Structures are given as structure tokens and as C-alpha cells.
Structure 1
Amino acid sequence: MSTADAHPRAERAGWQSLVPGIALVTNYQRAWLGRDIVAGLVLSALLVPQGMAYAELAGLPPVTGLYTSILCLIGYAIFGPSRVLVLGPDSALGSMIAATIAPLLLADGDPARAIVLASLLAILVGVIMVVAGLAKFGFIADLLSKPTQIGYMNGLALTIIVGQLPKLLGFSVDADGLLREMGAVFSGIVAGMVNPTAAVMGFACLAGILLLNRLLPKLPSVLIVVVLASIAVNAFDLQDQGLDTIGVLPQGFPPFTVPIVRWSDLPVLALGAIGIAVVALADTMSTASAFAARRGEQVHGNQEMIGIGAANIAAGLFQGFPVSTSGSRTAVADQAGSKSQVTGLVGAVVITVVLLFATGLMQYVPQPTLGAIVVAAALSLADIAGTRRLWQQRRAEFLLSIVALLGVALLGVLPGIALAIALSILNVFRRTWWPHAAELGRAPGVSGLHDTRRYPDAERLPGLVVYRFDAPLIFANARTFSEAVRDLATTDERLTWVVIAAEPVTDVDTTAADMLEELDGWLNERGISLVFAELKDPVRDKIERYELTATIDPGHFYPTLDDAVAAYVRQTGATWQSPQGER
């Protein structure tokens, strides 16, 4: 093959890597079609009621959930790299969307303006995702550590459940914030505002979904409950008893619309978009990793960002709102035998057919049933077992999880996600700021040198301390390191060598370099040598570039701890002694 022939092919390969839908078309196997169609039909049964329920959770008309589902499925099928992931309206994002657009709405909560704001929010989320994906910022998903994710999701679940209680009970409240909403719900119950018909319907639907999920997990529990509830409403004329229903949906495919808002709205929308993008990415990467591992496939983080971004932009241009990956819907598609993103396209076609020809199907669906769907989803967000495991395994991370929960529950969804990200970053910084450190000795019957706190009977060499600092030396921990070494020097009058077991030290910045120069001078004044062992070559190169070897003896750098200890023994003739022998 000539070079001229190879270059266009390489360009096509690069283009196709950005648009995986091209590879889907060119590599699609006919044997997959039957399974994809069946999986798409099964998936549709979940997409329609959940889409409407999550739209209402976001403070939007139910039909926008169907608009969103159609366009995001098409967008991800073209640009998404995963064969199995299913995107759509999500319970975790619903509260974030509502928290973002609610302050921008007029006093009467104009639905048309809410749709415009949510659509632009979706476009902003999409742009952030696409730009970050092209810039290969897939690592952003790592900003949310597992403990803060668990706490955030637990707080979100609590917030969603409390927010849906009035709908389950058949009345509404006007309150902002978890504590105020809880108070308003309690006051409404005491004041006799509960509609018995709505309450029975709501809690019966919730119980039905939970029982079916537990006893018959392969059945479409949401669809079954929606159908039975609609039949009950029609058969017993429950609307005459004050039970609210969705009613007839607007007919037709959503029109292409460019959302236009006031300039003053943009800062609030942009801030919300950043938070939604981080949560959507973290959720997508965790779901993608789980299903990819099951199928023996690889996760393409940067392309996932582009796929999610394209799905959000597509939804936003057709009166939709921000979307993310759904673990439950992906599991349904996978269990139904889905082989490719054709499954999502089939689901999009089914929803389109409903909007064009069967909008009356939803007219008897009770509002409490939508509330029950949202509450059931919120319960699946909560990870009580994960919280219990954190308590048992690491109390510090358990506390991080609880703080993240309280941040979401008491401060609100958007401040809560910002707090969760900040806690994750601070937790990383804390481990570098106050890292684990240890004095090492020779434990009887165990090769190598080990922490004397774990091995109290470990032997030491008189006049020598081996000190390990498990972190890079940077500005944040330079003082901690210096004070620890000075304490070692002042507590042992016989000390002549301090050997730093430097294998964990992956970096030395300029602040730490200045500290080492000052520390070495202070030790030399007391007749103590600062010695390094197992220092990595890149770190050693930096020390030489900082000209620290002009202060620290170049002969005091050893490739291994054994070499450093052997040099000390040759120089002093010291022998290993037990702690009792030293006294």
C-alpha cells in the first residue's frame, strides 16, 4: 500500500473514532437485529413512564421527558462509544435541574420559560462535555471519590423522597429546602390536606414497584404498575375523587428550537451545568466500567464525554433537558439481549410513535404513580450498605460521606455537589499534607525494615534512625517533615545518621528543597548526617538541579536501604540491638 493510500484511510479512522455510529453501521451484524428490536421494545416500557416522572421531578411538563428520551438516544447512538449504555432523564439530575432553573423562573413558574431554561442548560452541559472530551479531560470523573459519591447520592435520595411525599399524598407544598419541606409535609398531614385516594394509589404503586423489583426483577415493574393504575383510574372514575392524572399529552414530534434566555440567566445556568456535567460523567463512567467489565470491553472515557455531550445538545435543541446514563435502564437493555445502540434507536422510534399517534394512552396515569416511580428510583440511589462498609473500614471516609449527605440535604443539591467535589479534593490534599510516616527497624524473623509501631520489638542500630515519609515532599508538608526529623534528632543524643527511606517520595518541589537545605545545615551543626536511600532517579535529578548536593553530601545518596545501613555499620561498627538492649 502506498503512503498516499494510507493517509486518507488514517484520516477516516480518526473521524470514525469520534463518530462511533459510523462503525455501528458498517460493522453491524444481521444476527443482532432481532435481539436489538426485542430489547428496544422492552426498554420502551421503562422509558415512557420514567421519562415523564423525571421531567416532573425537574419541574417540567411530563411530555418533555419523552422529547428528551428520543433525542438523547439518537445523539448517543451516533457519538457514544458503548454498545450497551442507555441514556435518558435521570433521577439524580432531576433535582439538580430543578435547583438550577427554579431561582430563574417567574413567580408563577411559567412552564414555557422553564422549558427554555432547561433546554439551554442541556446545551451548556453538552458543550462542556464535548469540549472536555476533545481536550481529553476524562479524568474529571475522578473528582468525586467513592465516599463522597455515596454521601451525595444518599443525600440526594433523601431530598427526592421528601420532595415527592406531597405528590404521593395528593397535595402540594410551597417550601424550599429539606427541613422546610419536611415541616410543610408534616403541617399538611396535620391540617388534613391528604387525599385518601391519592395516598392509597401512590403508596400502592410504590409497594408494587418495590415488590416486583425484588420478587420478579426481570419483569418491567414500572410498566406493570402504570398500566394497572391507569386501569383502576378509568374503571373506578377515581378522577372524580380528586385524583390528578397526566391527561392527554401534546401530539407531535418536538420542533427544533434554539433556546434564548436573558444574559443575566447565563451565570446561574453555567454553574449548574458544570455540576450536572461532573455528576453525569461520574455516573456514566461507573456504569460504563461495570458493564464493560461484564462484557470484556474497554471504557473510552474521553469518547464517553463526547457521546454524553452530543446527547445533551440534541435534547436541548428539541425542548429537552440534561441527561445522563441510567444504570437501571442499561441493565434492562442488557438483560433483554441488547447487542448495540440500535436498541436505543428502537426505543426512540417507539416513543415517537406514542407522541404521534397514541398521546391518549397516558391520560389516565395518576400523578401519585409518577411520584411512586421517582421515590422507587431514589431508594435505589441510596447506598446504605456502602455507608455501613465505610463505617467498618475507614471512619474518616465515613465522616466525609456523612458531610456530603448533610451538604446536599441542608444546603441544597448544587451546593451539595460543590461540597462533595471540594471534600474529595481536600481528602486527597489531606493525605499529602499529613501523610503516614514511620521509623523503621529490623523485626525478628521478617526480612527488610518495618514500622517500629507495628513491630515494637524491632531492632535498631545505635546512632541511626531510618525514617520513611509516605508522600511527595511539597510545600504543604515540608514543615511537617522538617519538624518530624528535628524531633528525632532532639530525642536521641547519640544520633549521627538520619536515613530517609525515600522510595515513597515521588517529588520534591522548590519549597521542600529550601527546607531540606535548611534542615541539613541544622543537622550538621549537631553532628548529624542527612542520608537518602532509594530515591527515584527523576527526584534525584531535581535535587541536583536545585543544587542541593552542594549542601547535602553527594556520598549520602544510596540506591537501597541495605546499602545505606551497611555503609553506616562499616563506618561505625554498630550492631543491631533490641529496644531493651538499647536501654
Structure 2
Amino acid sequence: MAAADWIPGLKAVSTYQPAWLPRDVLAGIVLTTLLVPQGMAYAELAGLPAITGLYTSILCLLAYAVFGPSRVLVLGPDSSLGPMIAAVILPIAASDGDPARAVALASMLGLLVGLFMTVAGAAKLGFIADLLSHPTQLGYVNGLALTIFIGQLPKLFGFSVDGEGLIAETRGFVEGVAAGDTVPAALAIGAGGLLVILLLQRFLPKVPGILIAVLGGIAAVVFLGVGDVDVVGPLPQGFPPFDIPSVSWSDLGLLAAGALGITLVSVTDTISTASAFAERSGQEVRGNQEMIGIGAANIASGFFQGFPVSTSGSRTAVAFTAGARSQLTGVVGAGAITLMLVLAPGLLKDLPQPMLAAVVIAASLSLADPAGLRRLWRQRRIEFALAVAAFLGVALLGVLPGILVAVVLSVLNVFRRLWWPYRAVLGRADGVDGYHDLREYPDAAQIPGLTMFRFDAPLIFANARTFREEIRHLARQDPAPRWILVAAEPITDVDTTAADMLEDLDEELNSAGISMIFAEMKSPVREKIDRYGLTRTIDPEHFYPTVEDAVAAYRMISSLPGEPTG
């Protein structure tokens, strides 16, 4: 593989068009207005100092510009990863409450996520994104949105709570408000900022609502002198320092487990976001290279006091709308943040903490998708139930257990469809070509002595018993059929367990004077049937290329008149 395939940034430089430069620079400046407040807010959401969010933003943008394949995707601290990071590092770091240790743990977590992501991308394991089905992902993000929203309310009101988990945090917030812990100035700034962000996003989406809200919050602190409102304070000056995070071996196992969950969410988010914007930019999605690009971004962040990152749909949309044509937009954004830290680190020292809470709450509201849940309720109740179960897993058990619940539910849903696939008895309906499900066409005619059966799944160990019991049920009809014709087109595989079942079932039916017939079986499946030696018991002449051919053969041996055509 050519170097440009592994390092897309090389190709980007060689094919860059000078006409893109003004748009990329402008888009990078616009993007910076979003990167700074969100980076700081999501760092605190992860339980880390605000400055780490800026360090993370700089390094992940630079690394992805080199190793990422997309021209327009924007990476950075993410609202959906913040609670996951906190869930991993805070229980470990809480024993001594040392912020430096929390940063080291988060950086090591970023390195592990980057390692897992890079290895998975190199091994072409992009399919792991499919472990979260859409219904369970929908339930997960709605549960995450509620968890983030509730967790940020005390900060918006100017106080803090000690509870962990949705129920404890809700109780703590209600008790705090009832006890009069609310700081009116903090609530006014935070709620006012949230209102500005939401109104501008709704009615003037091209106006940088977050920037306006942040500037308004800083102005309120500076000019109104609200000293009882917590602020960010001075930021360290200079470029992010290189640091190899040091953690104990006992902590590494917990970090690795958390990194796997974060990797799964990040991969899923990346593939879906990349697919959406690839259509707009005319690019093809290179899922495995995307994983390598995100992995490199996480590794770079981890070595510079950063934490795990993912793609951001909202920031990518801002950059794309502002005219971004290449990853130079992200490089400009990283450069602008660096200049701020080097030349004006005190620029945001008066940024009120309730305003950061407003930024996070706005992000949580954008994550929530109640309309998607309502749509599932109308379309398919079983998948709605899966979404609700994933929602409750996050809301009641926590973010990381919620991920596990979502993955398990997704996998079980796949097995449910294999264990109990759709089955149908077929008949000929008036005015419709072919043979169709009697449940949809209850008046469809059946041929005396011939039962047609369709099994809509691969025939494997998990559903072999179901298939056998269905065939036995059909064989017990009164009068018993002479032929049971299996419309085998949906059967895409037959494993050895199912083959043994078919052999025993065919002998059982033959002893009762019933023949089991197959039609429209795919060639690869038929080859397996031959390889398993099933044609020793199942007559090779009992395989027909089409259902119509099988019906015609049955009519011939039964001396029945042919069916009218058309």
C-alpha cells in the first residue's frame, strides 16, 4: 500500500488547490469560535480541567489532518464521550482528588482508545460499528442526553451535588434548590446563555450563538462584578506540554475496559457522521482509514495531556457551512487556539462556569431524539422496546454499563431474528403472480396434498429445532400432505447442526409417506448440502430450480390439472 493511502495528509498537500485557501482559513476561524468554549465545557464534563479540552482540540485536529481520510470531518472533545471518560477516571482518581492524576488517567485512556482504534482500522474491523443497532443507539443517546442534562443543572444553578448516577443527582439537585443553594447571578448568566444559544440555533443557525453567549457571560462578570459566580480562571500559557502519562498497573485494566466502550461509541459515531458528510462533499467513506485517523488523533492527544476524542457532527456542519474544503480548516483552528494560549492565555479567565454548563446542556438537547423514539413506536414496537431498554440501561445503571446493555441488546436482537425467524405457509392468490403468505392472503388456494412452506433465515444450530417443529406441525395436518415443499430462496446457509437435523427429519417424514422438497435453493447452499452428504437420504430429484417447477412436478405425479397462468 502506498504511503498516501496510510497517510492521506500527503495526498491532501499534493492535490491542494490554492483557490480553497481563503475558504479554509475563514472556516477555520469560524470553527475556532466553537472549538474553544465546547472544548473547555466538555473537558469539565469529563471531570478534567478546562485547559485539557483546548490541548485535546489542538492535537487531535493536527493528527487527523495527517492521518484522516475525510476532507471535512472535524474532531474534538465530544459531549457523548465526556460522561464515559468521567465514569472511567473519576472512580479511580477520587481516592486522592488529585487533578494531575485525573489528567494522567484521561491521557492514558486516550492512548488506549487510539491504540484500539488504530489496530482495529489496520485489521479492517470497521464492522464493529454494527454492534450498536440503530434502535439501541437511539435509546443510548437519549439516555445519555438525559444524564448530561441532569448532571449539569446544579452547575447552571451555581452549586454542586455529591450524588453519582441519575437518580442521586436528580435528588441532590432538587434538595439543593429546596435548600436555597441557588446562586441567582449564576442562574441568570447560565439560563440566559442557554436561551441565547437555543434561540440562535433555532432561528439564526449561521450566527455563532455559543460565541455570543460566551462573550455575554464574560461581559456580565467583568462589568457587573458578580463575584459570587465561579469562573474558569487563568489558563496556563504556551503550547500543550508533551507528557507520557504514568498510571499503575492496577489501574490499567479498568482503563482498558473503559477504552473498549469508548472505542465502540467513537467508531459508531465516526462512521455515521462520515457517511452523512461524504454524500455532501462527494467523497467515499473509508471506514478503516477513518478508524486509523481517529486512532492517531487520540494517540496524539494522549501524549499532550489530552483525553479521548471523536468526530463532531455539529462542528463538522459549522465548518462545512462556512466553506471548508480541506483539513486545513482544522489546522487553522488548532493554530488559532495555540496562538490564544501563547499570546493571550488570560482571555477567558472570566468565563463563568454556568455558561460552560449552558454549552453542555445545549449539546445534550441536540443529542436527544424523542421524535426517533416516537417513530420507532409507530413502526415497530419490539425495536421501540429495545430502545427503551437501552435508555433505561444508561439512565439507571450508568453510562458504561449502559453501553454494555446496548451492545448485548443489539446482539440478542440479531439472535432473536435467527432463533425465531418469520415463517409462512404459501398459497396461490387470485390476481397475484406467484405464491404468497396465507396470513396476508387468507383466501389463497392450496393444492391438495401439497404444503408450501417458507423459512426466512439461514438454517443454523440456533433455529434448527424451530424449523424441525414447524415441518412436523405441517406433517400432522389432516389430511397429511404428500409433499412439504420448502421455498428455500431465503435460506442463505445450512450449517452442520442443521444438516444433521434435515437428515433425521427427512427419514422421519419418509417413514410417514411424506416427501420433503426444496425449491429455489441458492447454489452455494446446495453445494453444502452435497458436501454434507445429505443427498444420501434426500432424493437429489427433490431439488427444483423454482417453486413453479416443483408445483408442476407435483401436479404431474398426482395427475392434477395444471394451473391457469397470468
What TM-score range do you get, normalising by the shorter chain? over 0.9
Aligned counterparts of 1:406 and 1:153: Cα–Cα separation in 2: 11
Aligned counterparts of 2:280 and 2:240: Cα–Cα separation in 1: 36
SS of the residue aligned with 1:315?
A: helix
Aligned counterparts of 1:274 and 1:100: Cα–Cα separation in 2: 11
Alignment match, 2:306: 320
**Which letter does structure 1 place at the counterpart of 2:29?**
L
Alignment match, 2:181: 193
Query: Where do residues 317-466 of structure 1 align in structure 2 (5 Å cutoff)?
Result: 317-466=303-452
Aligned counterparts of 2:539 and 2:169: Cα–Cα separation in 1: 67
Aligned counterparts of 1:467 and 1:59: Cα–Cα separation in 2: 58
Aligned counterparts of 1:18 and 1:293: Cα–Cα separation in 2: 22
2:125 is the alignment partner of 1:137? yes
Stretches of 4+ aligned residues off by more than 4 angstroms: none
**Which letter does structure 1 place at the counterpart of 2:385?**
L
Q: Per-residue displacement from partner, 1:122-143 (whole Å, max 9, x unpaired)?
A: 0000000100000001111111
Deviation at 1:576, TM superposition (A): 8.1
Match of 1:208 among 185, 188, 196: 196
Query: Where do residues 488-503 of structure 1 align in structure 2 (5 Å cutoff)?
Result: 488-503=474-489
Deviation at 1:196, TM superposition (A): 1.1
Question: Could you state the TM-score of these two structures normalised by the residue count of structure 2?
Answer: 0.99
2:89 is the alignment partner of 1:101? yes
Alignment match, 1:260: 246
Deviation at 1:494, TM superposition (A): 3.5
Aligned counterparts of 1:190 and 1:287: Cα–Cα separation in 2: 42
Deviation at 1:575, TM superposition (A): 5.0
Gaps of 5+ in 1: 1-10, 578-583
Deviation at 1:492, TM superposition (A): 3.0
**Which letter does structure 1 place at the counterpart of 2:296?**
A
Match of 1:475 among 447, 454, 461: 461
Q: Is the 8 A contact 1:472 1:508 kept in 2?
A: yes
**Which letter does structure 2 place at the counterpart of 1:510?**
T
Aligned counterparts of 2:378 and 2:182: Cα–Cα separation in 1: 41
2:51 is the alignment partner of 1:63? yes
Q: Is the 8 A contact 1:63 1:250 kept in 2?
A: yes
Q: Per-residue displacement from partner, 1:151-185 (whole Å, max 9, x unpaired)?
A: 00000000000100110011111111111111111
Q: Which is worse superposed, 63-72 or 106-115?
A: 106-115
Aligned counterparts of 1:424 and 1:464: Cα–Cα separation in 2: 39
Aligned counterparts of 1:228 and 1:194: Cα–Cα separation in 2: 21
Q: Is the 8 A contact 2:193 2:216 kept in 1?
A: no
Aligned counterparts of 1:15 and 1:531: Cα–Cα separation in 2: 55
Alignment match, 2:6: 18
**Which letter does structure 2 place at the counterpart of 1:340?**
S
Question: Could you state the TM-score of these two structures normalised by the residue count of structure 1?
Answer: 0.96
Alignment match, 1:281: 267
Aligned counterparts of 1:576 and 1:482: Cα–Cα separation in 2: 31
SS of the residue aligned with 1:348?
A: helix
Alignment match, 2:207: 219
Q: Which is worse superposed, 279-288 or 84-93?
A: 279-288
Aligned counterparts of 2:268 and 2:91: Cα–Cα separation in 1: 26
**Which letter does structure 2 place at the counterpart of 1:80?**
G
2:160 is the alignment partner of 1:178? no
What is the alpha-carbon root mean square deviation over aligned residues? 1.1
Alignment match, 1:562: 548
Q: Per-residue displacement from partner, 1:382-417 (whole Å, max 9, x unpaired)?
A: 011111110111111111100000000111100101
**Which letter does structure 2 place at the counterpart of 1:182?**
T
2:65 is the alignment partner of 1:77? yes
Deviation at 1:428, TM superposition (A): 1.0
Cα distance change of structure 1 residues 188 and 465 upon mapping to structure 2, 3 Å threshold: same
Aligned counterparts of 1:215 and 1:255: Cα–Cα separation in 2: 41
Alignment match, 1:546: 532
Aligned counterparts of 1:16 and 1:494: Cα–Cα separation in 2: 67
Deviation at 1:107, TM superposition (A): 2.7
SS of the residue aligned with 1:238?
A: coil
Q: Is the 8 A contact 2:244 2:303 kept in 1?
A: yes
Aligned counterparts of 2:561 and 2:453: Cα–Cα separation in 1: 18
Q: Is the 8 A contact 1:73 1:88 kept in 2?
A: yes
Alignment match, 2:149: 161
Alignment match, 1:245: 231
Aligned counterparts of 2:114 and 2:258: Cα–Cα separation in 1: 12
SS of the residue aligned with 2:70?
A: coil
Q: Is the 8 A contact 2:457 2:491 kept in 1?
A: yes
**Which letter does structure 2 place at the counterpart of 1:54?**
Y
Alignment match, 2:112: 124
Q: Which is worse superposed, 58-67 or 230-239?
A: 230-239
**Which letter does structure 1 place at the counterpart of 2:474?**
L
Deviation at 1:380, TM superposition (A): 0.3
Identity rate of aligned residues, in percent?
A: 64
Aligned counterparts of 1:167 and 1:461: Cα–Cα separation in 2: 72
Deviation at 1:368, TM superposition (A): 0.2
Q: Which is worse superposed, 534-543 or 486-495?
A: 486-495
Aligned counterparts of 2:370 and 2:29: Cα–Cα separation in 1: 33
Deviation at 1:574, TM superposition (A): 3.0
Aligned counterparts of 2:458 and 2:284: Cα–Cα separation in 1: 32
Match of 1:112 among 71, 89, 100: 100
Deviation at 1:504, TM superposition (A): 0.4
Aligned length: 564
Aligned counterparts of 2:417 and 2:15: Cα–Cα separation in 1: 47
Q: Per-residue displacement from partner, 1:305-353 (whole Å, max 9, x unpaired)?
A: 0000000000000000000000000000000000000000000000001
Aligned counterparts of 2:560 and 2:117: Cα–Cα separation in 1: 62
Gaps of 5+ in 2: none
SS of the residue aligned with 1:491?
A: coil
2:500 is the alignment partner of 1:520? no
Deviation at 1:106, TM superposition (A): 3.6
